[in-house]
Amino acid sequence: MMRLRQLPIRPRLTLGFMAAMGLLLAVIATVLYVIMGAVLLDEIETGLRSRAATIEADLPSGLNLATPTRGLVESHEAFAQVTAPDGTVLESSPGMPAQLIPRDALAHLTGSTYFQRRVPRVADVAKVLAVPVTKGSRRYVIVVGSSMSDRTDALRLIATFFLVGGPVALFLASTAGWLVAGAALRPVERMRQQASLISASGPDQRLSVPDPDDEIKRLAQTLNGMLERLDEATRAERRFLDNASHELRTPLTALKAELDLARARPRSATELSAALDSASEETDRLARMADDLLLLSRAQAGRLPVQLEPTALRDLLVASANLFRARAATAGVDIRVTAPDASVRLDGSRVRQAVDNLLDNAIRFSHHTIELRGAVNDGVVRITVDDDGPGFSEGFEHRAFEAFQQSDAPASEPRTAAGEGAGLGLTIVQMVADSHRGTVTAENTAEGARVTLTLPNLAH
Protein backbone atom coordinates (compact mmCIF):
# COMPACT_ATOMS: atom_id res chain seq x y z
CA MET A 1 0.00 0.00 0.00
CA MET A 2 2.86 2.39 0.82
CA ARG A 3 4.55 1.64 -2.52
CA LEU A 4 1.26 2.26 -4.32
CA ARG A 5 0.97 5.67 -2.70
CA GLN A 6 4.45 6.52 -3.89
CA LEU A 7 3.51 5.96 -7.53
CA PRO A 8 2.67 8.94 -9.77
CA ILE A 9 -0.99 9.89 -10.11
CA ARG A 10 -1.46 8.52 -13.62
CA PRO A 11 -0.32 4.93 -12.82
CA ARG A 12 -2.35 5.04 -9.61
CA LEU A 13 -5.47 6.10 -11.48
CA THR A 14 -4.90 3.38 -14.08
CA LEU A 15 -4.34 0.69 -11.44
CA GLY A 16 -7.43 1.82 -9.57
CA PHE A 17 -9.45 1.74 -12.80
CA MET A 18 -8.03 -1.71 -13.60
CA ALA A 19 -8.94 -3.03 -10.15
CA ALA A 20 -12.47 -1.64 -10.43
CA MET A 21 -12.92 -3.13 -13.92
CA GLY A 22 -11.50 -6.46 -12.79
CA LEU A 23 -13.90 -6.57 -9.86
CA LEU A 24 -16.80 -5.59 -12.13
CA LEU A 25 -15.94 -8.31 -14.67
CA ALA A 26 -15.64 -10.89 -11.88
CA VAL A 27 -19.04 -9.91 -10.49
CA ILE A 28 -20.65 -9.99 -13.95
CA ALA A 29 -19.09 -13.39 -14.73
CA THR A 30 -20.22 -14.85 -11.41
CA VAL A 31 -23.76 -13.50 -11.69
CA LEU A 32 -24.09 -14.60 -15.31
CA TYR A 33 -22.69 -18.05 -14.49
CA VAL A 34 -25.13 -18.53 -11.61
CA ILE A 35 -28.14 -17.17 -13.53
CA MET A 36 -27.43 -19.22 -16.66
CA GLY A 37 -26.93 -22.31 -14.54
CA ALA A 38 -30.26 -21.75 -12.83
CA VAL A 39 -32.05 -21.03 -16.15
CA LEU A 40 -30.68 -24.15 -17.84
CA LEU A 41 -31.48 -26.28 -14.79
CA ASP A 42 -35.04 -24.93 -14.75
CA GLU A 43 -35.33 -25.76 -18.45
CA ILE A 44 -34.23 -29.34 -17.76
CA GLU A 45 -36.68 -29.67 -14.87
CA THR A 46 -39.49 -28.24 -16.98
CA GLY A 47 -38.75 -30.82 -19.70
CA LEU A 48 -38.76 -33.61 -17.12
CA ARG A 49 -42.13 -32.54 -15.76
CA SER A 50 -43.55 -32.39 -19.27
CA ARG A 51 -42.21 -35.86 -20.08
CA ALA A 52 -43.58 -37.29 -16.84
CA ALA A 53 -46.99 -35.79 -17.60
CA THR A 54 -46.97 -37.38 -21.07
CA ILE A 55 -46.15 -40.80 -19.66
CA GLU A 56 -48.80 -40.40 -16.95
CA ALA A 57 -51.39 -39.66 -19.66
CA ASP A 58 -50.57 -43.00 -21.39
CA LEU A 59 -51.04 -45.05 -18.22
CA PRO A 60 -52.17 -47.77 -17.77
CA SER A 61 -51.98 -48.65 -21.49
CA GLY A 62 -48.77 -50.03 -22.93
CA LEU A 63 -45.92 -47.57 -22.83
CA ASN A 64 -43.45 -49.33 -25.12
CA LEU A 65 -40.56 -47.43 -23.43
CA ALA A 66 -38.22 -50.10 -24.72
CA THR A 67 -38.95 -49.19 -28.34
CA PRO A 68 -35.94 -47.24 -29.60
CA THR A 69 -38.03 -45.27 -32.06
CA ARG A 70 -40.31 -43.75 -29.40
CA GLY A 71 -39.94 -39.97 -29.79
CA LEU A 72 -40.25 -39.30 -26.07
CA VAL A 73 -36.91 -40.91 -25.27
CA GLU A 74 -33.61 -39.86 -26.85
CA SER A 75 -30.78 -42.38 -26.66
CA HIS A 76 -27.89 -41.40 -24.32
CA GLU A 77 -29.60 -38.08 -23.46
CA ALA A 78 -32.94 -38.91 -21.84
CA PHE A 79 -34.54 -41.98 -20.33
CA ALA A 80 -37.71 -43.11 -18.55
CA GLN A 81 -38.85 -45.89 -16.25
CA VAL A 82 -42.15 -46.94 -14.69
CA THR A 83 -42.03 -48.90 -11.43
CA ALA A 84 -44.41 -50.20 -8.85
CA PRO A 85 -44.32 -48.61 -5.38
CA ASP A 86 -42.25 -51.56 -4.14
CA GLY A 87 -39.56 -50.79 -6.76
CA THR A 88 -40.50 -53.44 -9.30
CA VAL A 89 -39.63 -52.15 -12.77
CA LEU A 90 -42.67 -52.36 -15.05
CA GLU A 91 -41.09 -50.80 -18.11
CA SER A 92 -37.79 -49.02 -18.80
CA SER A 93 -35.74 -47.37 -21.51
CA PRO A 94 -33.08 -49.61 -23.07
CA GLY A 95 -29.85 -49.98 -21.19
CA MET A 96 -31.11 -48.56 -17.89
CA PRO A 97 -30.23 -50.22 -14.59
CA ALA A 98 -32.80 -52.37 -12.87
CA GLN A 99 -33.74 -49.55 -10.55
CA LEU A 100 -33.02 -45.88 -11.19
CA ILE A 101 -34.33 -44.98 -7.72
CA PRO A 102 -33.48 -47.15 -4.69
CA ARG A 103 -36.38 -48.91 -2.97
CA ASP A 104 -36.00 -47.00 0.30
CA ALA A 105 -36.22 -43.67 -1.58
CA LEU A 106 -39.34 -44.83 -3.42
CA ALA A 107 -40.96 -45.84 -0.13
CA HIS A 108 -40.68 -42.31 1.22
CA LEU A 109 -41.94 -40.47 -1.86
CA THR A 110 -44.83 -38.13 -1.05
CA GLY A 111 -44.73 -36.08 -4.23
CA SER A 112 -42.60 -35.16 -7.20
CA THR A 113 -38.93 -35.37 -6.17
CA TYR A 114 -35.74 -34.53 -8.06
CA PHE A 115 -32.49 -36.49 -7.80
CA GLN A 116 -29.02 -36.12 -9.30
CA ARG A 117 -27.08 -39.26 -10.03
CA ARG A 118 -24.76 -41.02 -12.41
CA VAL A 119 -26.63 -43.29 -14.86
CA PRO A 120 -24.91 -45.83 -17.15
CA ARG A 121 -24.85 -44.89 -20.85
CA VAL A 122 -25.95 -41.33 -20.03
CA ALA A 123 -23.40 -38.56 -20.58
CA ASP A 124 -22.46 -36.50 -17.52
CA VAL A 125 -24.60 -36.33 -14.39
CA ALA A 126 -28.32 -36.93 -14.91
CA LYS A 127 -31.23 -35.02 -13.45
CA VAL A 128 -33.92 -37.52 -12.39
CA LEU A 129 -37.59 -36.82 -11.52
CA ALA A 130 -39.67 -39.37 -9.61
CA VAL A 131 -43.45 -38.79 -9.69
CA PRO A 132 -45.87 -41.08 -7.77
CA VAL A 133 -49.24 -41.41 -9.62
CA THR A 134 -52.45 -43.40 -9.15
CA LYS A 135 -54.49 -44.82 -12.02
CA GLY A 136 -57.64 -46.54 -10.97
CA SER A 137 -56.76 -48.81 -8.15
CA ARG A 138 -53.14 -49.14 -9.04
CA ARG A 139 -50.20 -46.96 -7.99
CA TYR A 140 -47.15 -46.25 -10.13
CA VAL A 141 -43.92 -44.31 -9.88
CA ILE A 142 -42.88 -42.56 -13.08
CA VAL A 143 -39.13 -41.94 -13.27
CA VAL A 144 -37.80 -39.68 -16.02
CA GLY A 145 -34.30 -38.34 -16.41
CA SER A 146 -32.15 -36.23 -18.65
CA SER A 147 -28.45 -35.70 -19.03
CA MET A 148 -27.08 -32.32 -17.74
CA SER A 149 -24.23 -32.38 -20.26
CA ASP A 150 -25.73 -29.54 -22.35
CA ARG A 151 -25.96 -27.39 -19.23
CA THR A 152 -22.41 -28.27 -18.24
CA ASP A 153 -21.14 -27.45 -21.74
CA ALA A 154 -22.93 -24.09 -21.72
CA LEU A 155 -21.53 -23.15 -18.32
CA ARG A 156 -18.06 -24.27 -19.38
CA LEU A 157 -18.36 -22.07 -22.46
CA ILE A 158 -19.29 -19.05 -20.30
CA ALA A 159 -16.37 -19.69 -17.94
CA THR A 160 -13.96 -20.05 -20.87
CA PHE A 161 -15.25 -16.84 -22.43
CA PHE A 162 -14.63 -14.82 -19.28
CA LEU A 163 -11.30 -16.50 -18.50
CA VAL A 164 -9.98 -15.74 -21.98
CA GLY A 165 -11.92 -12.61 -22.89
CA GLY A 166 -11.80 -11.07 -19.40
CA PRO A 167 -8.06 -10.31 -19.42
CA VAL A 168 -8.34 -8.94 -22.96
CA ALA A 169 -11.24 -6.70 -21.95
CA LEU A 170 -9.36 -5.70 -18.82
CA PHE A 171 -6.27 -4.80 -20.87
CA LEU A 172 -8.31 -2.71 -23.32
CA ALA A 173 -10.14 -0.97 -20.47
CA SER A 174 -6.86 -0.26 -18.65
CA THR A 175 -5.34 1.17 -21.83
CA ALA A 176 -8.37 3.42 -22.19
CA GLY A 177 -8.04 4.39 -18.52
CA TRP A 178 -4.35 5.26 -19.04
CA LEU A 179 -5.22 7.47 -22.02
CA VAL A 180 -8.13 9.13 -20.23
CA ALA A 181 -6.01 9.78 -17.12
CA GLY A 182 -3.31 11.31 -19.32
CA ALA A 183 -5.85 13.56 -21.03
CA ALA A 184 -7.33 14.59 -17.70
CA LEU A 185 -3.91 15.38 -16.21
CA ARG A 186 -2.62 17.21 -19.27
CA PRO A 187 -3.89 20.61 -18.02
CA VAL A 188 -2.17 19.94 -14.68
CA GLU A 189 1.10 19.19 -16.46
CA ARG A 190 0.71 22.37 -18.48
CA MET A 191 0.17 24.36 -15.28
CA ARG A 192 3.27 22.69 -13.78
CA GLN A 193 5.37 23.76 -16.74
CA GLN A 194 4.00 27.30 -16.56
CA ALA A 195 4.62 27.43 -12.80
CA SER A 196 8.24 26.34 -13.31
CA LEU A 197 8.76 29.35 -15.57
CA ILE A 198 7.40 31.81 -13.00
CA SER A 199 10.24 33.30 -11.00
CA ALA A 200 11.10 36.41 -9.10
CA SER A 201 12.01 38.09 -12.39
CA GLY A 202 8.46 37.63 -13.67
CA PRO A 203 6.19 37.53 -10.63
CA ASP A 204 3.27 39.02 -12.56
CA GLN A 205 2.90 35.89 -14.73
CA ARG A 206 -0.14 33.69 -14.09
CA LEU A 207 -1.27 30.19 -14.99
CA SER A 208 -3.63 29.69 -17.90
CA VAL A 209 -7.16 28.78 -16.81
CA PRO A 210 -8.89 25.99 -18.82
CA ASP A 211 -12.37 26.62 -20.22
CA PRO A 212 -14.36 23.72 -18.66
CA ASP A 213 -15.79 24.62 -15.27
CA ASP A 214 -14.29 21.70 -13.36
CA GLU A 215 -11.80 20.92 -10.61
CA ILE A 216 -8.83 21.74 -12.87
CA LYS A 217 -10.20 25.21 -13.56
CA ARG A 218 -10.81 25.81 -9.86
CA LEU A 219 -7.27 24.57 -9.11
CA ALA A 220 -5.83 27.02 -11.64
CA GLN A 221 -7.89 29.86 -10.16
CA THR A 222 -6.79 28.94 -6.63
CA LEU A 223 -3.13 28.79 -7.67
CA ASN A 224 -3.43 32.14 -9.44
CA GLY A 225 -4.95 33.61 -6.30
CA MET A 226 -2.06 32.19 -4.27
CA LEU A 227 0.45 33.65 -6.76
CA GLU A 228 -1.29 37.00 -6.48
CA ARG A 229 -1.04 36.90 -2.69
CA LEU A 230 2.61 35.83 -2.84
CA ASP A 231 3.33 38.61 -5.33
CA GLU A 232 1.65 41.15 -3.08
CA ALA A 233 3.54 39.79 -0.05
CA THR A 234 6.81 40.07 -1.98
CA ARG A 235 6.03 43.64 -3.02
CA ALA A 236 5.07 44.47 0.58
CA GLU A 237 8.32 42.96 1.84
CA ARG A 238 10.31 44.99 -0.66
CA ARG A 239 8.46 48.15 0.32
CA PHE A 240 9.13 47.33 3.95
CA LEU A 241 12.85 46.84 3.31
CA ASP A 242 13.03 50.04 1.26
CA ASN A 243 11.23 52.02 3.95
CA ALA A 244 13.28 50.45 6.73
CA SER A 245 16.47 51.33 4.89
CA HIS A 246 15.23 54.90 4.45
CA GLU A 247 14.21 55.19 8.11
CA LEU A 248 17.57 53.86 9.26
CA ARG A 249 19.47 56.11 6.88
CA THR A 250 17.91 59.30 8.31
CA PRO A 251 19.26 59.01 11.90
CA LEU A 252 22.53 57.55 10.63
CA THR A 253 22.98 60.51 8.31
CA ALA A 254 22.16 62.94 11.10
CA LEU A 255 24.52 61.13 13.48
CA LYS A 256 27.35 61.20 10.96
CA ALA A 257 26.71 64.89 10.25
CA GLU A 258 26.93 65.74 13.94
CA LEU A 259 30.18 63.79 14.34
CA ASP A 260 31.71 65.25 11.18
CA LEU A 261 30.72 68.75 12.25
CA ALA A 262 32.26 68.24 15.69
CA ARG A 263 35.53 67.08 14.10
CA ALA A 264 35.64 69.78 11.42
CA ARG A 265 37.32 72.32 13.71
CA PRO A 266 38.15 72.78 17.36
CA ARG A 267 34.98 73.10 19.47
CA SER A 268 34.24 74.51 22.86
CA ALA A 269 33.05 72.27 25.63
CA THR A 270 29.52 73.61 25.20
CA GLU A 271 29.50 72.89 21.46
CA LEU A 272 30.92 69.41 21.98
CA SER A 273 28.33 68.70 24.64
CA ALA A 274 25.53 69.82 22.30
CA ALA A 275 26.92 67.66 19.51
CA LEU A 276 27.15 64.66 21.80
CA ASP A 277 23.58 65.24 23.05
CA SER A 278 22.32 65.33 19.46
CA ALA A 279 24.34 62.21 18.59
CA SER A 280 22.95 60.46 21.68
CA GLU A 281 19.40 61.34 20.65
CA GLU A 282 19.94 59.94 17.17
CA THR A 283 21.53 56.83 18.69
CA ASP A 284 18.48 56.35 20.92
CA ARG A 285 16.29 56.69 17.87
CA LEU A 286 18.36 54.05 16.07
CA ALA A 287 18.14 51.73 19.07
CA ARG A 288 14.35 52.11 19.28
CA MET A 289 14.04 51.44 15.56
CA ALA A 290 16.26 48.36 15.83
CA ASP A 291 14.14 47.09 18.72
CA ASP A 292 10.97 47.65 16.67
CA LEU A 293 12.41 45.78 13.66
CA LEU A 294 13.52 42.91 15.89
CA LEU A 295 10.07 42.79 17.45
CA LEU A 296 8.41 42.67 14.05
CA SER A 297 10.65 39.84 12.91
CA ARG A 298 9.87 37.78 16.01
CA ALA A 299 6.14 38.30 15.82
CA GLN A 300 4.19 35.30 14.58
CA ALA A 301 1.22 36.02 12.29
CA GLY A 302 1.29 39.66 13.39
CA ARG A 303 0.68 38.80 17.05
CA LEU A 304 3.24 39.09 19.80
CA PRO A 305 3.52 36.56 22.62
CA VAL A 306 2.29 38.12 25.88
CA GLN A 307 2.77 37.23 29.53
CA LEU A 308 -0.11 38.53 31.61
CA GLU A 309 0.60 39.68 35.14
CA PRO A 310 -0.83 42.18 37.64
CA THR A 311 0.36 45.67 36.67
CA ALA A 312 -0.10 49.04 38.39
CA LEU A 313 -1.59 51.19 35.63
CA ARG A 314 -0.58 54.59 37.02
CA ASP A 315 3.00 53.47 37.76
CA LEU A 316 3.35 52.17 34.19
CA LEU A 317 2.15 55.45 32.65
CA VAL A 318 4.27 57.61 34.99
CA ALA A 319 7.39 55.54 34.24
CA SER A 320 6.84 55.97 30.53
CA ALA A 321 6.24 59.72 30.88
CA ASN A 322 9.39 60.14 33.02
CA LEU A 323 11.45 58.49 30.29
CA PHE A 324 10.48 61.24 27.84
CA ARG A 325 10.32 64.28 30.16
CA ALA A 326 13.85 65.48 29.38
CA ARG A 327 13.29 65.23 25.65
CA ALA A 328 9.85 66.80 25.94
CA ALA A 329 11.24 69.68 28.00
CA THR A 330 13.87 70.33 25.32
CA ALA A 331 11.04 70.50 22.75
CA GLY A 332 9.00 72.79 25.04
CA VAL A 333 6.33 70.16 25.62
CA ASP A 334 4.73 69.28 28.97
CA ILE A 335 3.58 65.67 29.58
CA ARG A 336 0.62 65.35 31.97
CA VAL A 337 -0.41 61.97 33.40
CA THR A 338 -3.89 61.15 34.73
CA ALA A 339 -4.60 57.59 35.87
CA PRO A 340 -6.17 55.76 38.86
CA ASP A 341 -4.17 53.68 41.32
CA ALA A 342 -5.60 50.45 39.93
CA SER A 343 -4.06 47.03 39.31
CA VAL A 344 -4.79 45.50 35.93
CA ARG A 345 -3.77 42.20 34.37
CA LEU A 346 -1.67 42.94 31.29
CA ASP A 347 1.74 42.28 29.81
CA GLY A 348 3.37 45.32 31.39
CA SER A 349 6.48 45.31 29.19
CA ARG A 350 4.49 45.15 25.96
CA VAL A 351 2.01 47.83 27.00
CA ARG A 352 4.89 50.01 28.21
CA GLN A 353 6.50 49.65 24.79
CA ALA A 354 3.24 50.71 23.12
CA VAL A 355 2.90 53.76 25.39
CA ASP A 356 6.55 54.70 24.78
CA ASN A 357 5.94 54.63 21.03
CA LEU A 358 2.81 56.77 21.41
CA LEU A 359 4.68 59.37 23.47
CA ASP A 360 7.65 59.35 21.08
CA ASN A 361 5.29 60.00 18.18
CA ALA A 362 3.36 62.69 20.08
CA ILE A 363 6.49 64.63 21.16
CA ARG A 364 7.59 65.01 17.56
CA PHE A 365 4.41 66.82 16.59
CA SER A 366 3.02 68.38 19.77
CA HIS A 367 3.33 72.16 20.31
CA HIS A 368 2.93 72.53 24.07
CA THR A 369 1.07 69.75 25.91
CA ILE A 370 0.62 65.96 25.83
CA GLU A 371 -2.18 64.41 27.88
CA LEU A 372 -1.53 60.78 28.88
CA ARG A 373 -4.65 59.31 30.51
CA GLY A 374 -5.52 55.87 31.83
CA ALA A 375 -8.94 54.54 32.86
CA VAL A 376 -10.43 51.23 33.99
CA ASN A 377 -14.16 50.66 33.42
CA ASP A 378 -16.25 47.48 33.16
CA GLY A 379 -13.27 45.19 32.70
CA VAL A 380 -11.69 47.39 30.03
CA VAL A 381 -8.41 49.33 30.26
CA ARG A 382 -8.30 52.45 28.13
CA ILE A 383 -5.07 54.43 27.56
CA THR A 384 -5.36 57.70 25.65
CA VAL A 385 -2.62 60.00 24.34
CA ASP A 386 -3.69 63.53 23.24
CA ASP A 387 -1.37 66.08 21.68
CA ASP A 388 -1.97 69.65 20.55
CA GLY A 389 -0.21 69.31 17.22
CA PRO A 390 -1.69 69.74 13.73
CA GLY A 391 -3.45 66.37 13.86
CA PHE A 392 -3.59 63.65 11.23
CA SER A 393 -3.98 64.51 7.58
CA GLU A 394 -7.39 63.77 6.12
CA GLY A 395 -7.89 60.00 5.79
CA PHE A 396 -4.45 59.16 7.15
CA GLU A 397 -5.74 58.11 10.58
CA HIS A 398 -7.23 54.96 9.00
CA ARG A 399 -3.83 53.69 7.79
CA ALA A 400 -1.54 55.27 10.35
CA PHE A 401 -0.91 51.88 12.00
CA GLU A 402 0.53 50.30 8.85
CA ALA A 403 4.31 50.09 8.77
CA PHE A 404 6.08 53.09 7.19
CA GLN A 405 2.89 54.72 5.97
CA GLN A 406 3.30 58.35 5.03
CA SER A 407 0.78 61.12 4.89
CA ASP A 408 -0.40 62.38 1.53
CA ALA A 409 -0.45 65.95 2.82
CA PRO A 410 1.77 68.54 1.14
CA ALA A 411 5.28 68.91 2.54
CA SER A 412 4.39 72.41 3.68
CA GLU A 413 2.18 71.02 6.46
CA PRO A 414 4.01 70.87 9.82
CA ARG A 415 3.27 67.23 10.54
CA THR A 416 4.87 66.01 7.35
CA ALA A 417 7.38 68.73 6.74
CA ALA A 418 10.23 66.39 7.55
CA GLY A 419 8.85 63.78 5.18
CA GLU A 420 8.12 61.44 8.10
CA GLY A 421 5.26 59.04 8.31
CA ALA A 422 4.17 56.72 11.07
CA GLY A 423 7.34 54.62 10.84
CA LEU A 424 7.14 51.50 13.00
CA GLY A 425 5.97 53.03 16.26
CA LEU A 426 2.22 52.87 15.62
CA THR A 427 2.58 49.47 13.96
CA ILE A 428 4.03 48.11 17.21
CA VAL A 429 1.13 49.68 19.10
CA GLN A 430 -1.30 47.87 16.79
CA MET A 431 0.50 44.57 17.38
CA VAL A 432 0.43 45.03 21.15
CA ALA A 433 -3.31 45.71 20.96
CA ASP A 434 -3.91 42.63 18.80
CA SER A 435 -1.83 40.46 21.12
CA HIS A 436 -4.07 41.49 24.04
CA ARG A 437 -7.18 41.04 21.84
CA GLY A 438 -7.78 44.76 22.11
CA THR A 439 -8.03 47.68 19.68
CA VAL A 440 -6.27 50.94 18.90
CA THR A 441 -7.79 53.93 17.11
CA ALA A 442 -6.49 57.24 15.81
CA GLU A 443 -8.57 60.40 15.36
CA ASN A 444 -8.39 64.16 15.26
CA THR A 445 -9.78 66.37 18.00
CA ALA A 446 -10.36 70.10 18.22
CA GLU A 447 -6.91 70.50 19.86
CA GLY A 448 -4.86 68.04 17.82
CA ALA A 449 -4.52 64.25 17.49
CA ARG A 450 -5.72 61.41 19.74
CA VAL A 451 -4.69 57.78 19.87
CA THR A 452 -6.69 55.42 22.11
CA LEU A 453 -5.46 51.97 23.16
CA THR A 454 -8.29 49.77 24.49
CA LEU A 455 -7.40 46.47 26.17
CA PRO A 456 -9.45 43.90 28.08
CA ASN A 457 -8.61 43.74 31.77
CA LEU A 458 -8.12 40.00 31.96
CA ALA A 459 -8.13 40.05 35.76
CA HIS A 460 -11.93 40.12 35.57
What are the per-10-residue average pLDDT scores of the chain (460 residues)? 69 86 92 94 92 84 52 63 85 77 81 86 86 86 90 92 90 88 82 75 72 80 84 75 69 77 78 78 76 68 76 94 89 94 91 90 91 92 94 73 57 39 72 90 90 81
Of 371, 355, 328, which Cα lies nearest the Cα of 455? 355
Q: What pLDDT was estimated at residue 92?
A: 83
For residue 344, the 8-state DSSP code is E
Of 438, 382, 310, which Cα lies nearest the Cα of 372? 382
Secondary structure of 41-109 as H, E, C letters? HHHHHHHHHHHHHHHHHHCCCCCCCCCCCCCCCCCCCEEEEEECCCCCEEEECCCCCCCCCCHHHHHCC
Strand 138-147 and strand 334-338: the pairing is unpaired
Cross-strand partners of 311: 344
Length reported for the chain:
460
Strand 369-377 and strand 334-338: the pairing is parallel
Please report the domains of the chain, with CATH numbers, ordered by start residue: 14-152 (3.30.450.20), 215-296 (1.10.287.130), 304-456 (3.30.565.10)
Sheet containing 138-147: give its strands across. 89-92, 78-83, 138-147, 126-135, 113-117
Of 79, 88, 173, 165, which Cα lies nearest the Cα of 126? 79
Identify the helix (H) or strand (E) that includes residue 213: none
Q: What pLDDT was estimated at residue 369?
A: 95
Asked whether the CA dihedral 425, 427, 429, 432 is positive or negative, the reply is negative
**Pairwise CA distance, residues 225 & 202, whole Å:** 16
108, with CB counted inside 10 A (0-12, 13-18, 19+), is exposed
- Among left, alpha and beta (phi > 0; psi -120 to 50; other), residue 332 is left
Task: Please name the amino acid found at residue 404.
Answer: F
**Pairwise CA distance, residues 116 & 99, whole Å:** 14
Give Cα separations from 16 to 4, 5, 7, 181, 333 (angstroms). 10, 12, 12, 11, 78
Strand 78-83 and strand 89-92: the pairing is antiparallel
Give Cα separations from 248 to 239, 244, 253, 288, 289 (angstroms). 14, 6, 9, 11, 8
Q: What pLDDT was estimated at residue 71?
A: 42
Q: What pLDDT was estimated at residue 79?
A: 86
The model carries a pTM of 0.49
Asked if 274 contacts 259 with a C-beta cutoff of 8 angstroms, the reply is no
